[in-house]
Structure 1
């Protein structure tokens, strides 16, 4: 099954559900400022599968699984993950952490069992386990402290190309305060978050067929060379390779 994703109705714009089946080689997961709860299943040695958290990445991560391994994930929009998981985002930066390290072990075991039952119950592909992950996350959000109230405005400002100083002023914080709160909400400071968000805007434009020089101009890079350096720094490969048809990674 190729990669699929769909918006989370119960969680609104705060999350998407996704699924993927491992192929013959690792998959390149690009930084996006998000945190994911992921259920990995298909290994006979772990009949209920494994639950883990993928923290916000500062550069591309190569996800490896035996061919046929299936993943179902709930990806939280930047700033939402800490409220669900109960830990600041910077504690998960560039890490893959068992969910049982964050939540009570018995609770995680029960969730894994329920996910396995949902997958075996004849539901529509990954949608039954995905709905269960949504329900669990929504319940925890209802009981948790709400996400940082400035997170949405910070993401919107940086996505719109505003400087860190401009965003800090707009949300009524000093730059040091903004940096500290960004670490907790997003996993890294606003400058890194701005780079990650700009990368994803550039990739969206390039995938839509925009010429690379125009991509650089409309997404805030100094020039095409600057775009090329940033893409390689954050993803490990040139832009052209990212846009090439999918193939196993060597």
Structure 2
């Protein structure tokens, strides 16, 4: 079972998930990074370029999912160093600091809410994320071409790529592809026919949509929708 709510941290989402079925739907690329609590461990989920399947024994997760491009500012680590990885927070922060946070969250009746409080504290202690990156996400999420978006933002291709690696973990073309996948999934889950979903979300045709979903999610779209949750 998965539940979520909007966070008090702008753009973030607070969530919890109990995985009881090893064949439950995978976690899909979404352009985001998460701070996680799982069975007594504090972890960071880096940006994904492929589906991640928790699997294994029944387990409970709590987390805060940061808006795309913001987590590296709060966590103090470039996103590309964590691409397609789940790492212990002790690999990123001093052990003594993480130990105190572990004790704090372990004592909380609501680990997800405690993670949110931690994220708010970090946001108050760090510079605000680059607003240019927020504009980049917004533009790409409407289907704007990467080159045109770079021109609108006043950035050269190399500079945009470098800043995207730091903020998102991959280049702007991969970010655009991930955002397009999420647009398509939202439409398909709402019952929009696959052919119409492809056109409305920016694919050349339904076959293009099918290929992209298979590559990023690891399974056909119909099977993916049937295993959501």
CA–CA distance in structure 2, aligned partners of residues 60 and 175 of structure 1: 28
- Alignment TM-score, normalising by the size of structure 2: 0.96
The equivalent residue for 2:36 is 38
CA RMSD in angstroms, aligned pairs only: 1.3
CA–CA distance in structure 2, aligned partners of residues 24 and 130 of structure 1: 21
- Gaps (5+ residues) in structure 2? none
CA–CA distance in structure 1, aligned partners of residues 55 and 87 of structure 2: 15
Q: How does 1:60-71 map to 2 (within 5 A)?
A: 60-67=51-58, 69-71=59-61
CA–CA distance in structure 1, aligned partners of residues 131 and 6 of structure 2: 22
The equivalent residue for 2:27 is 29
**Match status 1:73 vs 2:70:** no
Conserved? CA contact 1:202–1:216, under 8 Å: yes
Task: Using the TM superposition, give the Cα deviation of residue 149 of structure 1 relative to its aligned residue in structure 2, in angstroms.
Answer: 2.5
Conserved? CA contact 2:21–2:55, under 8 Å: no
CA–CA distance in structure 2, aligned partners of residues 156 and 245 of structure 1: 29
Task: Using the TM superposition, give the Cα deviation of residue 64 of structure 1 relative to its aligned residue in structure 2, in angstroms.
Answer: 2.7
The equivalent residue for 2:13 is 16
Task: Using the TM superposition, give the Cα deviation of residue 26 of structure 1 relative to its aligned residue in structure 2, in angstroms.
Answer: 5.1
CA–CA distance in structure 2, aligned partners of residues 130 and 229 of structure 1: 35
- Alignment TM-score, normalising by the size of structure 1: 0.88
Conserved? CA contact 1:147–1:185, under 8 Å: no
- Gaps (5+ residues) in structure 1? 42-48, 120-127
